[in-house]
Structure 1
Amino acid sequence: MGTSRMFRVFVVLGSAFMILLIIVYWDDVGASHLYLHTPVSPGPKIPHHPPPPPPRQPQASRTPSFLSDIDAFVNQFLEPGTGEPTEAAPSDASNQSEKAEERYVPRREWKIHLTPVAAELRERQEQRRRLLQEMCANDSVTFPGKNRSFDDIPNRELDHLIVDDRHGIIYCYVPKVACSNWKRIMIVLSESLLRDGVPQRDPLAVPRDLVHNSSMHFTFNKFWKRYGKFARHLMKVKLKKYTKFIFVRDPFVRLISAYRNKFELRNEDFYRRFAQVMLRRYANQPTPPASVDEAFGVGLHPSFSNFVQYLLDPQTEKEMPFNEHWRQVYRLCHPCQIQYDFVGHLESAEEDAEHLLRQLRVDDVVEFPTSHRNLTASSWQSDWFSTVSAEARRELYKLYEPDFRLFGYDRPDSILNE
């Protein structure tokens, strides 16, 4: 009897231990964290009037699988009509209420939702989206990677797609196209920055050193670490359900802006990584100064013509891919694999930003900061390219032609034909 009882005790203890192992393993692989805290299909939350649940659609007979049933599994953890996780009420409700009073209020609150978006703005977006579709289907527009599938895009090339699961937003940032301000807005919306325990609500109050800190943004290339083998599937689920937006700029003006910011100003990192190379190869400086301060002290930095030579030199990309500040938009944001819902232009930034924030229904939470910095004007292009040979200008256009055509920028004939 003693042996039998001891055997039963061991069986019970062993079963309990196995259950504990299963729970620990499930938590380690991130599934419980994913499904309880990362909603897959929220969409923008509409205040006061949550939409009625969609009618149930008859399902075709099929063999069930884990991936095909992911949405159903996730949705059971979401509050009906909100797209947000079910959470218990905070233990200290009064304290939470006091903190809520500290939230940032947009400066133009009176404009929120009072009038519909102007018809011309809606038509502008429709034209830009339609142009993208047409150019991606047009065989006369060719560039590397155009016809590959989303699954074929390497994970390292998905690092510019920032995800906000709280509001169902995906933003592909393009350097030198107001990306600092849009990153600030994404930090505010995702509530990833706290001040005295309260989410930061003013985009301009986000410290500059945190704006471009990768730890502040959850990007597609981080999915593998968190979700493992389900990462690519979840990316596609979010791409289908979330609102995706991008802001672009005249490609040549963007290049001028990148040159001005990185090589006409003191930037030690860019001097050592790029400027020294340009000076050695194209400026007859076999031993350029060791630091940017020394170089600026003797009035030495690469010319814009040197910068163009660097971009056109086949050796450049053999050594490393283009830096993100001058890499083509089609390589950063994959517009033929991702159907963007909103395409903003820097040339109409304020109108487009207001339209987008209203479309996302977050204009009661955040406002796009107005920039008063010295911007590069399109009218300066002739002056900047005056030192660049006609042949180099035409080669540079070929290099960036896909961006011109995909996003509706005119061919700069006045520069190319001079």
Structure 2
Amino acid sequence: MMGTSRMFHIFVVLGSAFMILLIILYWKEVGVSRQYLHNPVSPGPKIANPAQHQQQQQQPQTPQTPSFLSDIDAFVNQFLEPGTGEPTDPLPAETSNQSEKAEERYVPRQEWKIHLTPVAEDLRQRQENRQRLLKDVCANDSLSFPGKNRSFDDIPNKELDHLIIDDRHGIVYCYVPKVACTNWKRIMIVLSESLLHHGVPQQDPLAIPIEVAHDDNMHFTFNKFWKRYGKFARHLMKVKLKKYKKFLFVRDPFVRLISAFRDKFEGLNQNFYQSFAKVMLRRYANHTTPPDSVDEAFAMGVHPSFLHFIQFLLDPQTEKVSPFNEHWQQMYRLCHPCQIQYDFVGHLETAEEDAEHLLRLLRVDNVVEFPKSHRNVTSTDLESNWFDTVPLEMRRELYKLYEADFRLFGYDRPDSILNE
């Protein structure tokens, strides 16, 4: 009996020790899991204003690197109790490094404030017409163009780099170069609060330098989802496309081409001269050895004409080498309107009215205003003058190349140019 009792006590002691060991291992695993969940996986800290960049490097900034959980929280909070007028984000924590002047200038965001004055009926109708047109053209078999019938899953990741996300307000913006995209990128920076000025988020869009507005590191785009979310990236894109407000701004396709040519080839732009102008000069202007420097070329009076630019666009060899540059790539190829159902389609020709309507629709008109700017000097009235040197057959080929943009976004066929 004593032997049995002793064995029983031994088993009890061993069992107790085993249970204690299991408990220790369990809590250790829980701790590791909690630590893993809170490890930062988002991009780094917010970027200081370049003018104060050196100073900001020496002073720790208030905004913290977001974690995976904060990403999820930011996503969910966009849709909790909208319309309350209450801030959805906490105020920056007070730190001894922040100047008193900066604290005085910081105005807490009053998110989800609803504009009391209703939007004019003609503006509502304008948007309904533009969105209905997109659906009709995408569903109509009479017009075909590359990628029209593919699904969103079939769009290569590299072709989603123009879709900028603002998780703070639930916004997706597809930017189209030469369609006021600089100012809209500035607005997206202000809304996302990704740029600091004297330790607080920059609130003035026009204070953001052009080079900063176009810095890829300032914007979180769909093509960056793979790095952050891995195999869940495409699913999360679809969730955000379903829940968020999506918008883009477009422009008369031919006028946009004229604007791109003027901006990139009538000035001293070394990058575009090296990458494209020299190619045009060799292929179409009989300059076998054009100067290496754009300054030297302009001094010699050597630069591509608008006709050379159109020849370059129509040349099958151009896209065999590489896809069109974003400044003259078709708008539908940049923004995929047959795969993404946009909530707002703005036109540069009605930019001021559309911008005011959009900011109210996004419920951020209390946070930011669209910058007032001079009217673009490239107008539709001057379109015919630019095409005087372009043969009629080339004009018609060019229209076919950009016909989808004309049809999708409601721009009339330019008969004055195509029927001379």
1:2-17 correspondence to structure 2 within 5 Å: 14-17=25-28
Give the superposition deviation at 1:43. Answer: 5.0
Are 1:40 and 2:75 an aligned pair?
yes
Q: Indicate which of 338, 347, 350 corresponds to 1:348.
A: 350
Q: Secondary structure of the equivalent of 2:257? A: helix
Q: Secondary structure of the equivalent of 2:248? A: strand
Deviation larger for 143-152 or 10-19:
10-19
Give the superposition deviation at 1:358. Answer: 1.2
* CA deviation map 1:77-127 (0-9, x unaligned): xxxxx7x47x6994679x89975642589xxxxxx9353211100100000
TM-score (norm 2): 0.83
Query: Structure 1 segments of 4 or more deviating over 2 A?
Result: 3-41, 43-50, 87-93, 95-101, 112-115
Give the partner amino acid of 1:40. Answer: F
CA RMSD of aligned residues (A): 2.9
Given the superposition, is the C-alpha separation of residues 23 and 245 from structure 1 closer, same or farther in structure 2, using an over 3 Å criterion?
same
TM-score (norm 1): 0.83
Conservation of the 8 A alpha-carbon contact between 2:40 and 2:68: no
* CA deviation map 1:353-393 (0-9, x unaligned): 01111111111111111112652010111110111111110
Give the partner amino acid of 2:67. Answer: H
1:162-241 correspondence to structure 2 within 5 Å: 162-241=164-243
Distance 2:289 2:266 in 1: 20
1:94-133 correspondence to structure 2 within 5 Å: 99=102, 101-103=104-106, 113=115, 115-133=117-135
Give the superposition deviation at 1:6. Answer: 8.4
Distance 1:412 1:205 in 2: 38
Given the superposition, is the C-alpha separation of residues 272 and 88 from structure 1 closer, same or farther in structure 2, using an over 3 Å criterion?
closer
Distance 2:301 2:408 in 1: 39
Distance 2:337 2:171 in 1: 16
Are 1:22 and 2:25 an aligned pair?
no
Distance 2:388 2:106 in 1: 50
Q: Indicate which of 324, 334, 339 corresponds to 2:326.
A: 324
Distance 1:270 1:9 in 2: 70
Give the partner amino acid of 1:102. Answer: R
Q: Secondary structure of the equivalent of 2:304? A: coil
* CA deviation map 1:124-181 (0-9, x unaligned): 0000000001001000121111111111111101000001111111100000000000
Considering Cα pairs closer than 8 Å and 6+ residues apart, tell me whether 1 or 2 has the greater RCO: 1
Distance 2:356 2:413 in 1: 28
Distance 1:338 1:391 in 2: 34
Structure 2 stretches lacking a partner, 5+ long: 1-9, 43-65, 109-113
Counterpart in 2 of 1:267? 269
1:67-82 correspondence to structure 2 within 5 Å: none
Given the superposition, is the C-alpha separation of residues 91 and 286 from structure 1 closer, same or farther in structure 2, using an over 3 Å criterion?
closer
Conservation of the 8 A alpha-carbon contact between 1:43 and 1:242: no
Q: Indicate which of 276, 280, 285 corresponds to 2:287.
A: 285
Distance 1:45 1:288 in 2: 62
Given the superposition, is the C-alpha separation of residues 191 and 89 from structure 1 closer, same or farther in structure 2, using an over 3 Å criterion?
closer
Counterpart in 2 of 1:66? none
* CA deviation map 1:227-265 (0-9, x unaligned): 111111111111111110000000000000000000001
Give the partner amino acid of 2:233. Answer: A
Given the superposition, is the C-alpha separation of residues 258 and 43 from structure 1 closer, same or farther in structure 2, using an over 3 Å criterion?
farther
Given the superposition, is the C-alpha separation of residues 281 and 43 from structure 1 closer, same or farther in structure 2, using an over 3 Å criterion?
farther
Distance 1:103 1:380 in 2: 45
Given the superposition, is the C-alpha separation of residues 26 and 104 from structure 1 closer, same or farther in structure 2, using an over 3 Å criterion?
closer
Instruction: Determine which structure has more spread, i.e. the larger CA radius of gyration.
Output: 2
Conservation of the 8 A alpha-carbon contact between 2:37 and 2:68: no
Structure 1 stretches lacking a partner, 5+ long: 51-81, 106-111
Percentage of pairs with the same residue: 65
Distance 2:123 2:99 in 1: 39
Q: How many aligned residue pairs are there?
A: 377
Give the superposition deviation at 1:309. Answer: 0.5
Distance 2:139 2:308 in 1: 36
Distance 1:45 1:282 in 2: 61
1:129-140 correspondence to structure 2 within 5 Å: 129-140=131-142
